[in-house]
């Protein structure tokens, strides 16, 4: 008796045609929340208004960016997926840090903030190295991100308002670069031509 033929397997598509580029959505959330935070940490606006950042970090920088990361994952875009899910979680955990950890940590509140920032510095450096596989704009954006978070590390470790304010100014630059990426991704894809270049690396 002949063995039954195996059922044909259904190939899993590498990219779903109905899922478009999620980068403008997720990075847009990152940019706006970062810019707003920079307005306060730089000292441009009264620090008492920082509560606005909590709202943006929860819904646009956090939840929206996190969801966008899963759309990028379904599309097969590893770097954007990893970035947007990670930093969507960053903003959500930032809210948790301010609302739950700091108020209950007592004398160790400063230490908790420092540890939080250092751990995210490590993750950001990893992404910076990985961004060497993307383009110059993304790579430079991550270098600026490194500078911003390291300055915030120093500010938290030494209770230095000067370092924290400097970090805030760098955050504004970081947000501007992220917004440029958003503008380039949307405009270039919509118009089907390169209007705002992202400056790809030259292949050897």
pLDDT digits (tens, 9 = 90+) for 99-149: 999 999 999 999 999 999 999 999 999 999 999 999 999 999 999 999 999
Nearest to 144 by CA among 39, 53, 35: 35
Percent of the chain with pLDDT over 90: 88
Global confidence as pTM: 0.90
CA distance 8 to 1: 21
The pLDDT score that the predictor gives to residue 12 is: 47
CA distance 24 to 97: 27
Could you give the angle at the alpha carbon of 69 between the alpha carbons of 133 and 23, nearest 5°? 60
Token digits of residue 110: 């400063």
Note the Cα 203 to chain centre separation in Å: 26
Closest CA to 134 of 81, 170, 173: 81
Exposed, middle or buried: residue 115 (CB in 10 Å: 0-12, 13-18, 19+)?
Answer: middle
Instruction: Judge whether 117 and 155 are in contact, CB under 8 Å.
Output: no
* Residue 45 scores a pLDDT above 90: yes
Residue 62 has pLDDT above 70, yes or no: yes
| Mean of pLDDT over the chain | 93
C-alpha span between 193 and 113 (Å, rounded)? 44
pLDDT of residue 203: 75
Per residue in 146-182, pLDDT (tens digit) is: 999 999 999 999 999 999 999 999 999 999 999 999 9
Determine phi and psi for 200, rounding to 5 degrees: -65, 150
196 close to 180: Cβ distance less than 8 angstroms: yes
User: What are the sequence ranges of the domains in the chain?
Assistant: 23-189
**Quick check: 82 and 109 in contact, CB under 8 A?**
no
């Amino acid at each position: 008796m002949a063995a039954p033929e195996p059922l044909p397997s259904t190939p899993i598509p590498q990219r779903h045609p109905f899922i478009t580029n999620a980068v403008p959505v997720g990075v847009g959330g990152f940019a706006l929340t970062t810019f707003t935070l920079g307005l306060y940490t730089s000292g441009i606006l009264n620090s008492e208004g920082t509560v606005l950042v909590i709202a943006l970090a929860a819904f646009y920088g956090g939840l929206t960016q996190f969801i966008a990361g899963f759309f990028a994952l379904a599309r097969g875009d590893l770097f954007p997926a990893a970035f947007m899910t990670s930093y969507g979680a960053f903003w959500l955990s930032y809210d948790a840090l301010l609302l739950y950890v700091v108020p209950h940590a007592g004398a160790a509140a400063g230490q908790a903030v420092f540890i939080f920032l250092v751990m995210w510095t490590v993750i950001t450096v990893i992404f910076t190295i990985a961004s060497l596989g993307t383009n110059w704009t993304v790579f430079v954006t991550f270098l600026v991100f490194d500078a911003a978070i390291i300055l915030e590390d120093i500010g938290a470790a030494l209770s230095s308002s000067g370092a924290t304010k400097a970090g805030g100014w760098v955050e504004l630059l970081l947000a501007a670069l992220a917004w440029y990426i958003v503008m380039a991704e949307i405009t270039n894809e919509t118009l089907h031509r390169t209007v705002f270049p992202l400056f790809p690396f030259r292949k050897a």
